[in-house]
A and B are shown apart, each in its own frame.
Chain A
Amino acid sequence: MKNSCLTIKNLFKEYDSGLLALKDIDIEVKQGDFFALLGPNGAGKSTILGIISSLVKKTSGNVTVFGMNIDKDFPVIKKNIGVVPQEFNFNQFEKVFDIISTQGGYFGIPRKLSEERAEKYLKLLGLWDKRDQTPRMLSGGMKRRLMIARALIHEPKLLILDEPTAGVDIELRRSMWKFLKEINEKGTTIILTTHYLEEAEYLCRNVAIIDRGQIIQNTSTSDLLRQLNAESFIFDAYENLSELPSIKGYKGRIINDNSFEVEVEKNKSLNTLFTKLTAQGIEISSMRNKTNRLEELFVSLVKPHEKKIEEDAE
């Protein structure tokens, strides 16, 4: 049984404006986990991360990190946490290398070691060539990587990332995923928020779905996906199709001359479907998932929750 990295109990946050951003949040993240906080905009994801990183003050509740309470041991806790915020927060006039090495200084790392680590992480994240430039001269993706390098300078045991790949192109996103997987495999616990559900599905072992300040699902990614009752597939045929093939027992619709969509329920097999198609002489050239599976599930969980809140309000 792994030790707890983060435990949140009965966490509430009410902003000065009166907005109740978090309502009785309970979360537990084990050491070594790769954990995702999913939710629509304004759900409270960044507020939770803000409280863990000390940028947001909680209203009530308990937060412990590596067994230490943030009310008593925040300085020690901070030494073990690296934070990658959602918005760029560099000094725009400082050089890339100085941003990283200075951050090391804030954690009490001697100058020489801090500079060695700055070189190491800038090279790992492909920013070494940009070390003498200012953040203003970097692309959005480079800025995101710079924030990751800055968060790693003190080699934290827990890395918190608030939408780390927002606005990053697909190729770069994949390389960042690979990098994050590698550091997680080396033992760093990672908590991230993301809008890209594919990201959570690919990276994370455990997921919490938050909506309007409440956790509506908190389980492993695989358990969550098991809750899907059906998946939609798109089939491309070699021949032109004038209408949807006869596939009794499956819901489907024609998309264009060569493609059709079929919803396959959990208790039905793809083999049977292929048998039916083969019997009609339809040869399939390719097939793919219609949408991200987690995305479907996310919508199916969040929508009823939002509806219930609206009904309660009325």
Chain B
Amino acid sequence: MSPREQWIAFFTIVVKEVKRFTRIWPQTLLPPAITIALYFIIFGTLIGTRIGSMSGFPYIEFVVPGLIMMSVITNSYGNVVSSFFGAKFQRSIEEVLVSPVPSHVLLFGYMIGGVIRGLAVGSIVTCMSLFFTDLHVHNVTVTIAIVFFTSVLFSLTGFINAMYANSFDDISIIPVFVLTPLTYLGGVFYSIEMLPKFWQGISMSNPILYMVNTFRYGFLGITDVNINWAFFMVISFCIILFFYSLYLLDHGKRLRT
């Protein structure tokens, strides 16, 4: 395919993905907005006022960046895993497989679809948070960069999960047993300074801690981790997962018999 044809194919996949999640917005855009609003009400307004300040900020301000990042992670992941596995399950993925679309274009298309949904939900949650607190952005570049790369990383993770999945059970295992615990223990609701030394050390092995803290740094200017190291790690994971996904596609893992 010529570069122009590849661009058309890429754009087609992205438009298809965006149409998909906007068509079913009561399942894709509304639930995270309601869930996060409940978090804001309970942890921010009701319980948060009794907790007081966290790392020098009112609890609601401390928790907002983590909650935005949590919604970006789950939605980027959820979009790609459900869309790609759905295409495998219905066999509509064969529409792309019989076409000349190169593997990297297919992967980019699904990945950007996941990123757009992640950022769309992140934007909705950010707008909702303005009803509960004022948001100040300490560093725009860091904020935008980390949310983008995190979204890319979890879109790719969702893609790999979908490639290996054989049933709908297989696409719910990772979000329930891996993503949710790592996110909740990734410093969304607390600073790891509050933990004993041993648990601080354990927490440092949680990659989501780096993403949440870097994002929080972008808003509030505070962090429990080294920002440069966090970027290095997230971008490295993105590159590794991208090439691994490409490898799976090129070898037709569970797509071709």
Contacts and interface: CB of A to CB of B under 8 A. Distances in A.
Nearest to A89: B91
A91 B89 CA distance: 10
Given A54-B256, A57-B252, A89-B92, A108 B98 contact: no
A78 B98 contact: yes
B256 A56 contact: yes
A106 B12 contact: yes
Main secondary structure of the interface of A (DSSP, over half): loop
B94 A106 contact: no
Interface in A80-118: 81, 83, 85, 87, 89-94, 98-99, 102-103, 105-111
Interface residues of A, number: 35
Contact of B97 (A15, A54, A79, A102): A54
A108 B97 contact: no
Contact of B257 (A57, A93, A94): A57
B257 A50 contact: yes
Interface string A61-76: 0000000000000111
A108 B8 contact: yes
A108 B1 contact: yes
B206 to A, nearest CB: 36
Contacts of A50: 257
Given A56-B257, A85-B94, A76 B12 contact: no
Interface residues of B, number: 33
A75 B102 CA distance: 8
A150 interface: yes
B193 interface: no
A107 B168 CA distance: 30
B5 interface: yes
Interface centre among A105, A106, A111, A150 (most CB of B within 10 A): A106
A221 interface: no
B99 A87 contact: no
Given A83-B98, A150-B95, A92 B257 contact: no
A55 B6 contact: no
B96 interface: yes
A53 interface: yes
Contacts of A78: 98-100
Contacts of B13: 105-106
Contact of A55 (B9, B12, B87, B98): B98
Contact of B98 (A53, A87, A99, A105): A53
Nearest to A88: B91
Nearest to A21: B257
Most chain B C-beta atoms within 10 Å of own C-beta, residue among A55, A74, A99, A108: A108
Contacts of A89: 90-92, 94-95
A105 B256 contact: no
A81 B98 CA distance: 8
B10 to A, nearest CB: 9
Interface in B1-30: 1-2, 4-6, 8-9, 11-13, 15-16, 19-20, 23-24
A55 B95 contact: no
B100 A55 contact: no
Contacts of B256: 54-57
Contact of B1 (A54, A55, A75, A93): A75
Nearest to A82: B98
Interface in B160-219: none
Contacts of A79: 1, 100
B101 interface: yes
Given A79-B100, A89-B94, A55 B16 contact: no
A108 B100 contact: yes
Contact of A91 (B4, B12, B87, B252): B87
B99 A107 contact: yes
B103 to A, nearest CB: 10
Interface in B88-126: 90-92, 94-102
A32 B1 CA distance: 25
Contacts of B6: 108
Contacts of A83: 94, 98
Interface of A: 15-16, 50, 53-57, 74-76, 78-79, 81, 83, 85, 87, 89-94, 98-99, 102-103, 105-111, 150
6 contacts: A50-B257, A57-B256, A79-B1, A90-B90, A93-B23, A108-B1
**3 A-B pairs with the lowest CB-CB distances in the bound complex, closest first:** A108-B5, A105-B12, A106-B99
Interface of B: 1-2, 4-6, 8-9, 11-13, 15-16, 19-20, 23-24, 86-87, 90-92, 94-102, 252, 256-257
